[in-house]
Amino acid sequence: MRKLLFLLFLVMTTFVFSQQRSFSYLNTPLEKVIGDLEEDYNVRFAFNSKLLKDRFVTYKKEANLEFFLKEIAFDLNLDFVFLDEENIVIKPTNLPKNYNLLDEVVLVTEYLTSGFDQNKNDGSITMKPKKLGVLPGLTDPDILQSLQLLPGISSPTESASNLHIRGGTPDQNLILYDGIKIYHQGHLFGMISPFNPYVVESVNVFRSGTKSEFGDRIAGVIDINSMVEVPDEVSGGGGVNFLHSDIFVKTPLKKDKVGLLLSARRSINDIIDLPTFNSFSDKVFQNTKIEETNSILQEEKLTVLSDQFDFLDINTKLIFQPNQTNKISISSLLVENSLNYANIDSHQYGTRDQLNINNKGLSVFWDYIPNQKWAFKSSVKYSEFNSDYRFTLFGPRNIEETSSNKNIVKDLGIQLQAKHQLKENLAIKLGYELVDYYVDYNLNFNGSAIVFEEGRTELATHNMYFETEHKTEKVYLRGGLRTSLYSGVDEFFLEPRLYGHYNLNNHLKLKMSIEIKNQAISQLTSFDFNDLGLGNAIWVLTDKGQGIPVLNNKQATFGFFFNKNGWKLDVEAYYKKVKGLTSFTRGFNSTIVTSEYASGNSTVQGVDILLKKKVNRFRTWLGYTYSKNDFEFPGLQSGTFPGNFDQRHIISWTNSYKYDQFQFSLGWQFATGRPYSEVLTLNNNELVFLGQNNKRLSNYHKLDVSAFYDFYFDPKNKIKARLGASIVNVYNRSNEIDRGFRVRFDENGNTNLIEQTNLGLRMTPNIVFRVYF
């Protein structure tokens, strides 16, 4: 079966390399023509969206790209200006004085597939879900899942939100939605991104070389932005797959002045029972209290009273643009997940587990651009995270609440920024950011031996940053300095940032980056947070009194990028030194623990490689990451040992092809097995381990496939529809993603060692149907 699937790769490659295309348009909307040209010629167009409205193309002959654009330019009353071989600006032939063309044209090159571009200057990756081509295993362009196709970004636990960027952990990533910090990053305990991709305009990703305006996290930056312009007309859409349904609408409230975005998405498992949701649930609940209870329902004559497990997200955005120099936007976000599980026995005794997790936020931005020399930006951002677990034991006569555990984060930020264009090739940026944190956690278990039952801390950080940007035809250099004063702990930090590249010729460039970053808030793992075995990570602030230091990361990268004739080769090596790592000792397997917390450091060294070839509408790319992540925790073990999520080799091979209204994608992934700690024996009912992370799980690999068909309901092509299908893990491999051990007491009081291995998704199909207007 596997040999047949790999043979399909080769046959598919040979077939599409022989395909040719000529121009044939009849009263076709200019927007569709632009999309076709970007697909076929590996170019990117920059334009004001109003230019495409009510413009149509009729053309039928063979021609090269430049000749075709010259021919249609006269009829459209437009000019197509080539900035380089990949970037084209569209502007009116007679430019009105009050016409807002673009604040800045960003030169890009397609990185993976349509919708994945690399900024030619700062090296960041931009994903645009609206333009995104089909990706293997996905029916919807899941934001965080899609990013895992980038070398250096992976999820060892096979979830959407559990992103590890170049050896960093998920809590070390700065994820912003319209400036709102995201603390709860996934629905269904991380299996689905909490962002509706159909209202996301762009996602900017920095794996390294971070701009000085981004702080508070030491790993990667994922900057998500929704609607950026006042819409010209009412548009929207909706759809349903085997996991959830959604609807969104964009509408002008006042022409060219005020626009509104509304979006809502929710799970549908309470309406209909579908195999995709069941497969996700099986993965999430394996080796948890819920799975154990379900397994003894018949034996113990238990009855399930409640089995609720659902999610919801809502987004709104209002844009007010009174004139060409001012724009005010207000965004809000609500992400909710809830679990309510209860059972009762024949004697009317039962238990109820309730877990509610939500993240809500609000941001207000004011952009002021008085002229081409100056640009000002000010913002106020608020994010609030709540995790509330309640366990109730009830009987025929009374109700006793035995635990109530909470984790609350409140994050208020104010940011002011000014950018000045000194010369055509030289700009400077100055900014100030105030961040005020409030964190509260309460671990209140009856009979628990937790030392620190609760913690409530506040911290204000004052940050100033300066950045200069210099670019010529050969050289791009961005250098900056961010200073941070942590008022709660009276500590001052300097964070230099440097990114640059040098073009050896039109096809090859060298690149490098050096940066230092600090982080005052992080997640610790406590297996005592709740009885479910789910959602056990707790957000805490730095606290010297409890031994939680500020995280510090020193990072350097060096590499090169080659781009010619549809071939792309991107190679980047990196080295990271992270200090101040902290964990509850219950998050480790050790017999020499002497305190509630353990502190340590990590060293990460690796290289990311991308090799891609594009021919017409066929793309194939190979991604490879070598990463070595060593931990050093003196309080747990002498010497170094592999990090909890250390995977030395990660490989992905992806193919995509577009033919008329059809899109196909096939992708294979491989990864070295994660490390785990092997148990030697039991001593006084306690586990005795051979060492930290001294063994590895089996190697991980799977094959995913997806296909789309797009069509229109009306002759004017105003109502578009999409039917799609996907299969995750086509050959149904049992992939090991985690392993742990625990002690279980039988009816006679004897102890038994239980090994628990968590598996990834088995073969999981999904189907989607969507409509756009």
State the pLDDT at residue 453.
Answer: 54
Q: What angle do CA 493, 434, 144 make, to 5 degrees?
A: 85
State the pLDDT at residue 287.
Answer: 81
> How many CA atoms, within 13 angstroms, populate the side-chain half-sphere of residue 103?
18
pLDDT average, residue stretch 50-64: 84
Share of the chain above pLDDT 90, in %: 55
Please check the confidence at residue 281 and state whether its pLDDT lies above 70.
yes
DSSP of 163-228: -EETT--GGGSEEEETTEEPS---BTTTTB-SS-GGGEEEEEEESSS--TT--S-SS-EEEEEE--
State the pLDDT at residue 401.
Answer: 65
- 138 confidence band (pLDDT: 50, 70, 90): very high
Residue 529: what are its φ and ψ, rounded to 5°?
-65, -40
pLDDT average, residue stretch 47-64: 82
State the pLDDT at residue 533.
Answer: 55
State the pLDDT at residue 19.
Answer: 40
- Look-up of token digits 């809000």: 332
Query: With contact defined as beta carbons under 8 Å apart, do 251 and 259 qualify?
Result: yes
pLDDT for 343-398, tens place per residue? 887 778 888 888 999 999 999 999 999 998 999 999 999 999 999 988 888 887 77
State the pLDDT at residue 342.
Answer: 86
Residue 577: what are its φ and ψ, rounded to 5°?
-125, 110
Q: What angle do CA 526, 535, 199 make, to 5 degrees?
A: 140
Give the residue with greater pLDDT, 403 vs 735.
Answer: 735
pLDDT for 531-567, tens place per residue? 555 656 789 898 877 778 899 999 999 999 999 888 9
The CA distances from residue 173 to 169, 214, 709, in Å, are 7, 11, 35
Q: Give the pair of three-digit tokens for residue 489.
A: 């702990």
Query: With contact defined as beta carbons under 8 Å apart, do 67 and 53 qualify?
Result: no
Residue 458: what are its φ and ψ, rounded to 5°?
-130, 150
Please check the confidence at residue 14 and state whether its pLDDT lies above 70.
no
Q: Which of 164-168, 188-192, 387-391, 685-689 comes out lowest in average pLDDT?
A: 685-689
In sequence order, which residues have a C-beta less than 8 Å from that of residue 328 and are 6 or more positions away?
Answer: 319, 320, 321, 364, 365, 366, 367
> How many CA atoms, within 13 angstroms, populate the side-chain half-sphere of residue 189?
20
Please check the confidence at residue 291 and state whether its pLDDT lies above 80.
no
Q: Which of 439-448, 577-586, 629-638, 733-742 comes out lowest in average pLDDT?
A: 439-448
Please check the confidence at residue 226 and state whether its pLDDT lies above 90.
yes
pLDDT average, residue stretch 96-102: 46
State the pLDDT at residue 181.
Answer: 97
Whole-angstrom distance, CA of residue 355 vs CA of residue 407: 11
pLDDT for 492-524, tens place per residue? 999 999 999 999 998 999 999 999 999 999 987
Find the Cα–Cα–Cα–Cα dihedral 615, 617, 622, 623, rounded to 10°. 130
- 444 confidence band (pLDDT: 50, 70, 90): low
Instruction: Determine the angle formed by the axes of helices 65-76 and 30-41, rounding to 10 degrees.
Output: 170
- 525 confidence band (pLDDT: 50, 70, 90): low
DSSP of 216-263: S-SS-EEEEEE--S--SS-EEEEEEESSEEEEEEEEEEETTTEEEEEE
Give the residue with greater pLDDT, 653 vs 65.
Answer: 653
- 166 confidence band (pLDDT: 50, 70, 90): very high
| Burial zone of 511 (CB within 10 Å; 0-12 exposed, 13-18 middle, 19+ buried) | buried
Q: Which of 43-57, 268-282, 461-475, 754-768 comes out lowest in average pLDDT?
A: 43-57
Coil, helix or strand for 611? strand
- 448 confidence band (pLDDT: 50, 70, 90): very low
Average pLDDT for the chain: 86
- 737 confidence band (pLDDT: 50, 70, 90): very high
Residue 97: what are its φ and ψ, rounded to 5°?
-65, -35
Query: With contact defined as beta carbons under 8 Å apart, do 317 and 330 qualify?
Result: yes
Looking at residue 269, the DSSP 8-state letter turns out to be T
Q: What is the pTM of this model?
A: 0.89
pLDDT average, residue stretch 697-720: 91
Q: Which of 25-29, 49-53, 695-699 comes out lowest in average pLDDT?
A: 49-53
Looking at residue 644, the DSSP 8-state letter turns out to be T
When mean pLDDT is compared over 59-73, 337-351, 489-503, 706-720, the highest value belongs to 489-503
Query: With contact defined as beta carbons under 8 Å apart, do 285 and 302 qualify?
Result: no
pLDDT for 568-624, tens place per residue? 999 999 999 999 887 654 445 544 444 556 778 999 999 999 999 988 889 999 999
Share of the chain above pLDDT 70, in %: 88
Whole-angstrom distance, CA of residue 285 vs CA of residue 97: 61
Please check the confidence at residue 56 and state whether its pLDDT lies above 80.
yes
pLDDT average, residue stretch 85-114: 70
Q: Residue 484: which of 216, 284, 229 has the closest Cα?
A: 216
| Amino acid making up residue 766 | N
Give the residue with greater pLDDT, 534 vs 446.
Answer: 534
State the pLDDT at residue 672.
Answer: 96
